[in-house]
Amino acid sequence: MKNDIVTLTIDDIGTNGEGIGKVDGYTLFVKDVVVGDIVKAKIIKEKKNYGYGKLLAIIKESKSRVVPKCAVAKQCGGCQIQQMNYQSQLQYKQNLVKANLEKIGGLKNIEVLPVIGMDTPYYYRNKAQYPVGIDKEGKIVIGFYAGRTHCIIDSTDCKIGSPINQTILENIRKYITEQKISIYDEESHQGILRHILIRNGYHTGEIMVCLVINGTALPCSEKLVQDLIGISGMTSIMLNINRDKTNVILGKECKTLWGQAYITDSICDITYEISPLSFFQINPVQTEKLYKKVLEFAQLTGKETVWDLYCGIGTISLLMATNAKKVYGVEVVSEAIEDARNNAKRNNFNNVEFFVGKAEVVVPQFYEEVSKKAMDDNKNKEAIQSLNPDVVVVDPPRKGCEDILLDVIVKMSPQRIVYVSCDCATLARDVKYLVSKGYEVKKVQPVDQFCHTVHIETVILLSKFQSKEQQSNQL
């Protein structure tokens, strides 16, 4: 009952990082605990089959419990499981992928390989977005939102961000104070400064600072530039214009205050230009491990045609192009495709073609149009190969793939599908559909891109199902 104080053992972790235990068969969710903790909690919200409890005391600590490295880990909504030792985090994520593939994907006895983790799971993020606000005392706060709120936790010393970010942020705080820069208020839609975006080039050491503003110009911006250009690695100082009354952080327009409009970095020896609006994986060390798995699963020999859907700035596309005959990339963000084409030129790739638009729109349209051309001219080998690629790579947003896109992928009938996902629940849903259409899961490899959070990146290899007779005919 609500307000009851209960004792329970934490048996599992939920998708948002909350602990799960039972009291007389009744499921209770409790924050800030780990599997194995025995805790005292107060029931603060009651539903028919489950409820939520507030942690009052830890009666017996789990062997998996550690002291978080970050002083504000409990308040901040970023690292939900920093109080869990790293090996236990990896085991939790492996179990999560397996459970979703079995429960949502309908796969039985699926083997999920051990999660590829980091040697040092701190200071890995090459991108961070910091909201700026004013607290009740009228002081400037820069940091992160508390979990499920828009209350800013004042902290510039993030343990998963780049260490140089703290110096940059304190310089900006000083500039805001001295120049009396107004801070954006979400309710009134007044004030100029909304967010601070920082990007770091892991291999190049280049730094971009981008201030998101509710206006077209930043007062005394030349003073900001002078405060920042002395920081080693500073390459780009920019403004992003966002005048909409929205929770979306970045607007569509960017202006350069100083330096370049981009920074550069590399993945697997391929160099990329990264603008404020570019999608680029946030963990460079783990991204190389992830992309090498993608390349391994693609099994390219140099003769293959590949489609890369949701290609962003072409990171996977260009990696595929090193070993494929032809690669087609699709991305809805036009600026990202412009970056992708520039990246192809920068790295001297001539076997890549990019399309702007939603994958679920572009690919079906392309398939229909080229099908007609191929029927009219059955000697057009390139058109036929584009319709029947050897490999399709998909790396969609958290919501996964639209049914219409999955349908056309099945029509294309690639020998292999390499599915990269940051949400193993929607991944499992889409894999279930592909398995129902004649594909079978060959390998499942989770990679820990997001240490100390509940999120996990997973890459799955699916191959067209072959009967024993078909397999013997190939021998």
Task: Name every residue whose Cβ is closer than 8 Å to that of residue 101 and which is 6 or more positions away in sequence.
Answer: 107, 110, 112, 424, 427, 428, 431, 441, 444
H helices of 347-467, in order, are 359-376, 381-387, 403-412, 424-436
Nearest to 8 by CA among 24, 22, 19: 22
**C-beta of residue 320 within 8 angstroms of C-beta of residue 297:** no
Lookup: tokens for 127: 């991108």
Crossing angle of the two packed helices 221-228 and 164-179, in degrees rounded to 10: 150
Count of beta carbons in the 10 Å neighbourhood of residue 120: 9
Task: Name every residue whose Cβ is closer than 8 Å to that of residue 415 and which is 6 or more positions away in sequence.
Answer: 390, 391, 463, 464
Crossing angle of the two packed helices 403-412 and 424-436, in degrees rounded to 10: 50
CA angle 299, 302, 306 (to 5 degrees): 65
Lookup: tokens for 344: 């192809």
Q: What's the rounded Cα separation, in Å, for the pair 144 and 166?
A: 13
H/E segment holding residue 271: strand 270-274
Count of beta carbons in the 10 Å neighbourhood of residue 79: 23
Name the residue type at position 278. Answer: S
194 burial via Cβ count (<10 Å: 0-12, 13-18, 19+) = buried
- Long-range contacts at 175-182 (CB < 8 A, ≥ 24 apart): 175/220, 175/223, 175/224, 175/227, 176/132, 176/140, 177/140, 178/223, 179/219, 179/220, 179/223, 179/224, 181/218, 181/219, 181/220
Residue 401 annotated among the catalytic residues of the structure:
no
Catalytic residue, candidates 70, 151, 422, 424: 422
**C-beta of residue 283 within 8 angstroms of C-beta of residue 119:** no
CA angle 193, 332, 241 (to 5 degrees): 15
Lookup: tokens for 120: 């040092």
> So which residues are the catalytic ones?
422
